[in-house]
Structure 1
C-alpha cells in the first residue's frame, strides 16, 4: 500500500503524545512517494467536538496519553468522533514510565470500532504529568533516543504497508515493561494507604495558582483542554472539569501554577528505571 495521506490524530495536553506521533508519521511518509503536504494533523486536544473521516487510502497515526492504566477518558471520547473506512491505523499509548496496562489494547479496540484497521501498536514513555524538578518522573521524555525509536517504528510500519494488504495486530501481545518487585511493592503499599486515607478524609487535589506571580496572561486558560480555567479568573480551577493533565502547570510562562499530589513523590521514588518503548507490527 502506498498511502495518499498520513494523518496524525492526537490528544496531547502537554505535547508528548503529539511529538511521538508526528515523528512516527513523518517516518511513514518519508519514502512513501508522498510530498510533505500529505502529512496532516487532527489535534483533538482543544476540540470538544471534531468530526472527521479518513479514507482507505490514508494512514492514521493515533496517539493518546495513559491515565491510570487506561486511555485518558477525554481522549477516548473525542476519538469517537473520528471515522475510518478500513483505514490502516497505527495506535500509540503514551505513559509516564509506570505502566500502560490496558491502554494500548483499549486504543486498538477503539480504533477498530471507529472503522480503522490497527496494523501496528506501540507504547512510548512521555514525561509524567506530575513530574516536577523536585519529583522527576520520566523528565524530558520523549528524548532523542525515544524519537529515534519512533522513527524506526514508523519506517517498519512503512515497510509493512508497502508489502501489501497489512494484517491487523493482536494488541494482547504488546506486553507491559517489567518493573522490579521492590519498587512495585513500595508503590502498591503507597496506593493502599492513600486509598484508605481518602476514604476517611477525602482530599481533592487541583492545580494551584500563586496570585503574586500570576500576570493574568490567560495562557493557562488557552491551553487547558477541558476549559477548566476561565480567562480573567486564572486563579480558579473548576474541579468538575479538571483532568489533572498539568498542561497549565507546565505551560505557565512565569511558574505561577503548581500541582501537589502525594502520587508525585511515590511515582518518582518507585519508577526511576528507564522503560523503553515497546511495539508490535
Structure 2
C-alpha cells in the first residue's frame, strides 16, 4: 500500500498526458459529483477522449461488454464501508474479456473498510484484470463538515500520481494476466449498516420531480416528491444535489447531534491509499 501526500511535478499539477489511449472508458456512480471528479482525473492522464458510463443516470438494463483493447476506469462511492448494493447490481451487468481496469473507491474521510476489496473482487469475477486500485477522499455526503471541500488540490495531485504510476505499471508488464496484488479489506465483508437518519423536505419544494427522476432506488414519489420511502432510501443524497431550490437535506436535533459526534471522531485528515 502506498500513501500519497502533496506531490509536485508537471503531470501532477495538470501537465499533458504521455500518450493517447483510443479505447478509454470510465464507469462511475456519483450522486454528489465527487466520484466522477476522481475518475475524470485518472482518465485524463491516459486520454482526452473517453466514453462515459454514468450508472446513476443511466443504469444498464442489458449486459455491457468490453474487450482487451479497451482500458477502463471504475469509480464507486463507499457507503458504511461497502459498495452500495445498487452499484453492485449495475456492475454485475458489466463484463470484461481480460480488460485492463483501474479500480477506485471514494469515501468521506471515515474509512473505506471492505469497499475496495469488494470492488476489485467484483471486477475480477466479471472478466476484468485490475491493474491498480486506490481509495480517495471526498467531502462526506451526510456530514459535509468532514472532508470539507475535498477532493482538494493535494487530493488531485495524488490522483494524478496514481494515474501515472498505473500507466507505467501497465506499460511495463508484458502479460497483464500475471498481475496479482492485494488491497486492504476483509472477507467476509462487513454487514451493510442502515443509516438511522432520514432526509427531510422543506416547504420550498416546487414538486418539479427532478429528485424522483434521479433517485437510483425509486424511493421518491413522482406525484408527491415530498414523500420519501425511508425503508428504500439509501441516503446517497443525489436528490439533494438535483434539487434546484435546495429543499432537501438532513435536519433536526438528532441530525445536529449525530453530526457533532461524527465530526469530532472523523475530522482528522486522511490521505489517499493506493495499491499497485
TM-score of the two chains, using structure 2 as the length reference: 0.81
Query: 2:20 touches 2:46 (CA, 8 Å); kept in 1?
Result: no
Aligned equivalents of 2:92, 2:85: Cα separation in 1: 11
1:152 aligns with 2:152: no
1:271 aligns with 2:266: yes
Aligned equivalents of 2:20, 2:124: Cα separation in 1: 21
Partner in structure 2 of residue 40 of structure 1: 51
Aligned equivalents of 1:208, 1:141: Cα separation in 2: 25
Partner in structure 1 of residue 29 of structure 2: 11
Task: Give the unaligned 5+ runs of structure 1.
Answer: 30-35, 177-194
Aligned equivalents of 2:82, 2:221: Cα separation in 1: 28
SS in 1 for 2:78: strand
Give the number of equivalent residue pairs.
245
Task: Give the unaligned 5+ runs of structure 2.
Answer: 1-18, 187-192
Query: 1:226 touches 1:241 (CA, 8 Å); kept in 2?
Result: yes
1:164-190 deviation digits (Å, cap 9, x = unpaired): 333434233x489xxxxxxxxxxxxxx
Partner in structure 2 of residue 218 of structure 1: 209
Aligned equivalents of 2:67, 2:41: Cα separation in 1: 22
Aligned equivalents of 2:104, 2:89: Cα separation in 1: 16
Relative distance call for 1:238 and 1:50 in structure 2 (3 A) is farther
The structure where helix makes up a greater share of residues is: 1
1:207 aligns with 2:216: no
Relative distance call for 1:50 and 1:240 in structure 2 (3 A) is farther
Per-residue deviation at 1:137?
A: 1.4
Aligned equivalents of 2:156, 2:20: Cα separation in 1: 24
TM-score of the two chains, using structure 1 as the length reference: 0.80
Partner in structure 1 of residue 233 of structure 2: 242
Partner in structure 2 of residue 22 of structure 1: 40
Partner in structure 1 of residue 122 of structure 2: 110
Q: Identify the match of residue 87 of structure 2 among 75, 88, 96.
A: 75
5 Å-filtered alignment, 1:96-135, equals: 96-132=108-144
**Cα RMSD, aligned residues only:** 2.4
